[in-house]
Structure formats: structure tokens, C-alpha cells
Structure 1
């Protein structure tokens, strides 16, 4: 059994966070799906849509940052769901 001292090292540098953000952006299909978005909404509409979603995501990331500061639990979303609501709700979040 691992003691609390032998757990995972919690240390992310700025370069780690930047690479996680870039891989998350590319991994969501930003480039492959841009063609259909531009075809449907036009170039201006696509730019406006991406800007609106980007702004919305800033608020979501701020909220996640606040929650993770308030409840610094290993397991993030699942642990937060179990702590705030119920174990069954936490299971549904997986």
C-alpha cells in the first residue's frame, strides 16, 4: 500500500499546461470540422461562433479552477460529484 507521502507528484509547469491545452484543441477536431462549419455559417459566422464558444470556455475553465481550489481532491470530477451529490451521481459522470 502506498502512503500519502508516496502518492503522485502534483506539479504542472506552464509548458505542461500549454501542451495539454494545445492537444485538447487539436484533439477535438478543430481542423477536420472547420470545413463544414465554414460551409454552413460562412467565414464571418464561423469566426463569430468560434469566438463565442471560446469565451464560454473561458468561464467554464474559471469555474473548474475555482472548484478545484475549493475541493482539491484526487479524481477531480468524479470526486467532486461524490462529495457534493452522491456516489451514484459520481458514477454517472464517468
Structure 2
């Protein structure tokens, strides 16, 4: 029984590791970090082999300000905040009434798989190359500057439109308690103005 030949990258790494100093040169050139060398679970700056690359520096110098200070509870709260949104409260009821529970469950499952695979890919990239900044840095590194710029502007436009969508959602939620009392409408206006001010 013949063994499966290793991938090209594995062959190249094996070849480079056998030669003196070539593997270190290959790691430095491709910004590969060995996470098993040292793991920093405190808020101390990362060692040189785990430091991130300064994207604004044309020389590609290394910055040392990345920290592993997030605890599991922080990651859990970030995950919950990403799940709960205005669409969950305003759109789910209409979708449930129109398509029924089975179609709603299927839609959530499909979108959950898509988001899971996207986050898995992003996690692989951030583990392979720890860079401070958003995922736009990876688009620039693995794609091109024009692709990263288009992605950045699309993401900004998405957030800009979301602000208007959230304000509309706030009005719809507050409109649930309809009344003819003028004081209630003044209070509603205060809530709306305060929300707009903080945004």
C-alpha cells in the first residue's frame, strides 16, 4: 500500500527544514509564527515570534503590542452580541408567519453554516498571521490593495445603512405602545433623540 505523497507546501517545508537556517528564513519571509513556541495568556506583550506586522510600515517592521487579554467570558459576550440584533426582534415574527417554523429553521441553519465557515476561515488566517486591525488587513495581504479598499468601503456602507435601519427599528418598537397621551409622545421623542445622540 503506497502512502499519499505530501502536498507541495509540506515537501517544501521538509526540504527547507533540513537545510541550516533556510526554515527560519522561510518563516520570516512568509510571516509564519510558531504558536507552540510560547503561549502568552496574560496581558503582557507577545514575544517577537508572535508579534504582529505593522501594515503602515513599508519596511514590514514588527510591532509588539498584541496581547492575549480576552477571557472566555469576553468572547462569549462578543458572540452573543453578534447574534442578537434588530432583525431578530422585528423580522423573525413576519418570517415565521409567512413561511412557518420549518422554513425558518432551515434558513437559520443554512446561514449559520455559512457564517461558521466564514469565521473558521478568518480564525485560521488570524492564527497563521496575527495582525492588528480588521479583516481588511487579510484582504490586502492575501488579495490586493484594490480588493481591500473595496471591502473596506462596502463594510463602511453596510454600517452606515445599519444606523438608519436601527433608528427605524427603534421607532417601530416604540410605536407598539400607541396612545393619545402627549406626554408619551414627548418621552418617545426623548428616547429617539438620545439614541441618535449616542449613535
What's the TM-score once normalised by structure 2's chain length? 0.41
Matched, 1:35 2:100: no
| Counterpart check, 1:51 vs 2:51 | no
Q: Distance in 2 between matches of 1:39 and 1:80?
A: 41
2-structure distance, mates of 1:55, 1:86: 27
Choose between structure 1 and 2 for higher RCO, CA contacts under 8 A separated by at least 6 residues.
2
Cα deviation for residue 56 of structure 1 reads 2.5
Q: Unaligned 5+ residue runs, structure 2?
A: 1-62, 153-199
How far apart, CA to CA, are the structure 1 residues paired with 2:94 and 2:145? 40
Per-residue deviation, 1:14: 0.9
Identify the residue that residue 88 of structure 1 maps to in structure 2. Answer: 146
Which structure: greater helix fraction?
A: 1
**Paired residues of 1:78 and 1:90 also in contact (CA < 8 A):** yes
Whose radius of gyration is greater, 1 or 2? 2
Question: In angstroms, what is the RMSD of aligned CA positions?
Answer: 2.1
2:132 corresponds to which residue? Answer: 74
Write the distance in 2 (CA, Å) between the matches of 1:28 and 1:91.
28
